[in-house]
Structure 1
Amino acid sequence: MKPHCPGNPLERYSSRREFFYVGLLGGLGLSLPGFLRQQAMGAQKFYETKEGPAKGIIHIFLPGGMAHQESFDPKPYAPAEYRGPFGAIDTALPGIQFGEKLPHLAKMADKLTVIRSMSHGEAAHERGTHNMFTGYRPSPALEYPSIGSVISHELGSKNNLPPYVCVPNVPNEFANSGYLSSAYGPFALGSDPAQGNFKVRDLNLPGDVSEERFNRRRSLLETVDYHFRSLEDSDALESMDAFYQHAYKLISSEKAREAFNLAKEDDKLKERYGKTQAGQRMLLARRLIEAGTRFVSLTAGGWDHHDNIKSGIEGNLPSVDKAVAALINDLEERGMLDSTLVMVTSEFGRTPKINQTGGRDHWPRVFSVMLAGGGVKKGYVHGSSDALGGEVDTDGVTVADLATTIYGQIGITADKELMAPGNRPIEIVDGGQVLSSILA
């Protein structure tokens, strides 16, 4: 529940924020000051480290609805109007094929789990996206928190880094904290790592503030804080002090700042990922997970291909294929794959039959999700769609099942109850089952 306190001392002394403010507010999500202020006001508690195979999660969301027929579930023997404009290619798994525009991932299919039997009932973008980000169907009565926000709430910060980061910005309203305090909302970068002048807002001192001046301001602030504490016995002031301490830790921590510094990466590695939107976002995601961020959410491309799906796939899928494959290989080479869950999702699939404008329309009845690392099986395909890619054929998976499994892999019990407004206990996920068959 978002804290609300009329006459809060934080408001009376808001000008004191100028002592450390180092960026601009803006965009969806929280800037550093907003993130830390809300955390101090509503989220001050100690966390116990929970055990799970995954220590971090990278969620690669493909907004618009990626066609499963052109990616992880091709139908090479279906009639042409169902098969689509592309062929299928063999993978590293005998008898399993991917769409021809996934050559890199096809070669490493023995490292992946592919779910071909995802399904839900929401054909609108917003409602399907809500499902995939929260594990719940939308409700007019309650705003559900995103998976990233629940992880932030349950596991907290590590190594002075925000536990939940969106690259480059919060992709939609359902990626936020819902009924939880906004303290658990995502930290949004504010700029795209694919840009040549990429620089994360809020993590650098203004040009006219040297380290020495910064430290002097800190000393002055400590004196002012001591004065206020001697005058007033206020929980809000204590929280404000904690807020400043956290702010200084992040701003002054070289390790925390360096997690966002793509300039530290070798140019050859950048080329492996691809100097594209998808490639550089995924490379930054790996740096953040490596440094201690628990959940990174990023988007790549646009997949609402109602018209000319051939051109749409050709413009989007190759860079994603290359980047995801590079991310998985990079994590494996660093010994991080088993402890990092990578998931590629979209809000739904596309219609089994090509429409009159050469595209496919919204189709939630069956679609595909890809997972790698984080304790899931290597070289496994779960479930199937029918011969035309229009319905679940075997081993259907619900959104609640997927969310329950993801939470379990990072050490969160999905049927735990959190408190919604009005002291209403709400399960993190309602009714999902752990997909034990996909776990290593």
Structure 2
Amino acid sequence: MFEFTNGLRDSRRAFLAASATSIAGLPLGLSVATAAETAPGRAVRQGSAKSTILFFLCGGASHLDSWDLKPKAPAEYRGPFSPIATSAPGVMLSEHLPLLAKQAHHLALVNSVAGTVNTNDHHAGYYHNLTGHVPDQSFRTLGNNRTPFPDDWPFMGTVVAAKREPHPSLPNAISLPHKPSEAPYTRPGQFAGRLGVENNPLYLRGDLEKPLSFTAPSLQLQEGIDGSRLSARRELLGEIDNCRRGLDQFTTTRTWSRHQERALSLLASSNTTQAFDVSREPESVRHRYGDDVNAMSLLLARRLVEAEVPFITVFWKENKSKFAKKCNSAGGWDTHGNNFNCLKDNLLPTFDRGFSALIEDLH
């Protein structure tokens, strides 16, 4: 986990205490500063982070070929990539992460975390990483048929969202640019579970072919419905709600009402569309991040931090048509074949460019 909660330079973003996390497989942990503050004899102070970005590399990136190359290991164990020096003394990264190497003084790398329960299953891995809870026996028995359950432990972002004061115009938790994985194999762990569906993140959909375009499927107005008709419908719904208050004893009815109110508020808010519009960024800024949907998702995450959204999750969007055959994968980081070429030619350079730009902007 990488946290950026200290040392922000004076800039138009200096009022934010922003943090970012990047999960590549199973690395989770505390920043060096946080660990020092919690050492014996040190008073624990309230954290300063207002927003968190979780950047999840779907499929699980090779730690050995990116963050911890183990150059002193025998050749049969280490990979072919060479380590390079970084801006952090003593920290080495893959030669294919040159831009991140310049930002390494902002990172806190954890190379020592390992799973204690091996199900050899992506569903269980997602659930463990996203909720912090060990997968139960249903993951072993059902495998990839294990769908999200309503009593699952909640995704960490939904816990933050539920405990924070409501944002004035945006949801407290937003996930983009896709929901891993494709139906019917939707990954457990990315939803609110036992916290209730009203705490689910707002989902923004990104398009591989149109990387500047982000839409919220749950907030799309039907053709022919403008702002005035939306207001009229809202008033009508209010009248209907007044007539059915006797049903409020039922939890599902109350939950639906909260869903309804949140959706209508977001539809009517100009702040919503502005925050989601990465085309408002200068072309030079967009170019620093890259030209694909994952790069623009990181840029949008930065915009949402500036809008003070508490928790933003970027799930790396796989490109099956471009990489599935080459890498024997779903198009993401689960490189079953041709691992080194896929990392060297495609995945690591794209990740390096976008993530380094995000770190630079947050600081």
TM-score of the aligned structures, taking structure 1 as reference length: 0.58
Alignment partner of 2:308 out of 270, 283, 292: 292
Determine which of 158, 163, 173 is the counterpart of 1:149.
158
Q: Aligned-pair distance for 1:138?
A: 0.8
Paired position in structure 2 for 1:322: 353
| Structure 1 counterpart of 2:285 | 269
| Cα shift readout 1:236-272 (whole Å, capped 9, x = no counterpart) | 6777665544333211111123221222222211111
- The code of the aligned residue for 2:356 comes to A
Q: How far, CA to CA, are the matches of 1:88 and 1:256 in structure 2?
A: 43
Count of residue pairs the alignment pairs up: 280
Write the letter of the residue equivalent to 1:323.
Answer: G
Match of 1:212 in 2: 228
> Which shows bigger deviation, 284-293 or 87-96?
284-293
Contact 2:175 2:201 in 1 (8 A): yes
Q: For the structure 1 residues 252 and 294, does the alpha-carbon distance in structure 2 shift closer, same or farther, using more than 3 Å as the test?
A: same
Give the letter aligned to residue 90 of structure 1: A
2:176 to 163, 167, 170: 167
Q: CA RMSD in A?
A: 2.6
Label 1:98 to 1:241 Cα distance change in 2 as closer, same or farther (>3 A).
closer
The 1:149–1:275 alpha-carbon spacing in structure 2 relative to 1, beyond 3 Å, is: same
Is the Cα–Cα contact under 8 Å of residues 205 and 214 in structure 2 kept in the other structure?
no
- List per-residue Cα deviations over 1:28-83 (Å, max 9, x = no partner): xxxxxxxxxxxxxxxxxxxxxxx631111111111222222211111223332222
1:160–1:246: 8 Å Cα contact kept in structure 2?
Answer: no
Q: Amino acid of the residue matched to residue 274 of structure 2?
A: E
Q: Does 1:181 align with 2:196?
A: yes
- Structure 2 CA distance, aligned partners of 1:65 and 1:299? 11
SS at match of 1:60: strand
Shift of 1:321: 1.1
Opposite residue 97 of structure 1, the aligned amino acid is: M
One of 89, 101, 122 as aligned partner of 2:96 = 101
Q: Point out the structure with the larger helix share.
A: 2
Query: Following TM superposition, by how much is the alpha carbon of 1:278 offset from its aligned partner in structure 2, in angstroms?
Result: 2.2
Query: What is the CA–CA distance in structure 2 between the aligned matches of 1:234 and 1:309, rounded to whole Å?
Result: 55
What does 1:39-50 align with in structure 2 at a 5 Å threshold? none
Deviates more, 1:321-330 or 1:117-126: 117-126
Secondary structure of 1:133's partner?
A: helix
Aligned to 1:19: none
Structure 2 unaligned segments of length 5 or more: list them: 1-45, 139-150, 181-186, 319-331
> 2-side partners of 1:232 and 1:78: how far apart?
69
CA contact (8 A) 1:157 1:293 kept: no
Contact 1:89 1:99 in 2 (8 A): yes
Q: Is the counterpart of residue 140 in structure 1 residue 137 in structure 2?
A: yes
Look up the match of 1:360: none
Looking at structure 1, the residues matched to 179 and 165 of structure 2 have their Cα atoms a distance apart, in angstroms, of 19
Aligned to 1:308: 338
Greater RCO (CA < 8 Å, at least 6 residues apart): 1
Confirm or deny that 1:131 pairs with 2:116: no
- Deviation of 1:158 after TM superposition, in Å, equals 0.9
Q: TM-score, normalised by structure 2?
A: 0.69
Higher strand fraction: Structure 1 or Structure 2? Answer: 1
Structure of larger gyration radius: 1
Distance in 2 between residues matched to 1:180 and 1:157, nearest whole Å: 16
Provide the C-alpha distance between the structure 2 equivalents of 1:191 and 1:152, rounded to a whole number of angstroms. Answer: 22
The alpha carbon displacement at 1:85 in A equals 1.7
Structure 1: segments with no counterpart, 5+ residues: 1-50, 333-440
